[in-house]
Amino acid sequence: MPTLKQGFAALEPVLQRHGHQAHGLIEVLNAAQQLYGHLSEPLLRHIARQLRLPFSRVQGTASFYHLFRFAPQARHSCLVCTGTACHVQGAAQLLAELRAAPLAELSVELGSVRCIGTCSGAPLVVVDGAVWNHVDANAVLARLRELER
């Protein structure tokens, strides 16, 4: 992952692809988050300068959307799907049970996602991008413990 010291040079091709135009802002934010893991304030200020936008506009846009994050990620992420099909199969209980579990000790960040559209596997979780179907809290915890091995 590129570091701050390199001055966000890795973002330059993306900025160029959008001609440093304001309408490319969300595409640039998406790419920036992919490159750097999260949107730090220096990164947002850099994007504002490059797109010739007020910082408030960049910050305001980024904070509107759920998927942008402003703090570093934990080593692993576990997203509980809370879409309708998962809800009727017990997603709320699954989420509550995982919230009560000591996930931080496993370097896992818990979150939720509103339907990824593979509902035949409900209830499901997305762990580091991979989908685990038909799970309960114990099964998820057991497999999360395996991640660190």
Residues that bind another protein in the complex, under the rule CB under 8 A: 22-27, 29-30, 60-61, 64-68, 82-89, 92, 113-122, 124, 129-133
Whose Cβ is closer to another protein: residue 40's or residue 61's? 61
Tell the smallest beta-carbon distance from residue 101 to another protein (Å). 23
Whose Cβ is closer to another protein: residue 102's or residue 117's? 117
- Asked whether 82 and 91 are in contact (CB, 8 A), the reply is yes
Q: b/e per residue, 9-22, with b = 16+ CB within 10 A?
A: eebeebbeebeeee
Tell the smallest beta-carbon distance from residue 2 to another protein (Å). 21
Residue type at 42? P
Q: How far apart are CA 108 and CA 127, in angstroms?
A: 9
Whose Cβ is closer to another protein: residue 74's or residue 92's? 92
Tell the smallest beta-carbon distance from residue 12 to another protein (Å). 18
Q: How far apart are CA 61 and CA 55, in angstroms?
A: 10
Q: Angle at CA 147, nearest 5°, toward 140 and 34?
A: 100
Whose Cβ is closer to another protein: residue 71's or residue 104's? 71
Tell the smallest beta-carbon distance from residue 49 to another protein (Å). 15
Q: Which helix (H) or strand (E) holds 149?
A: none
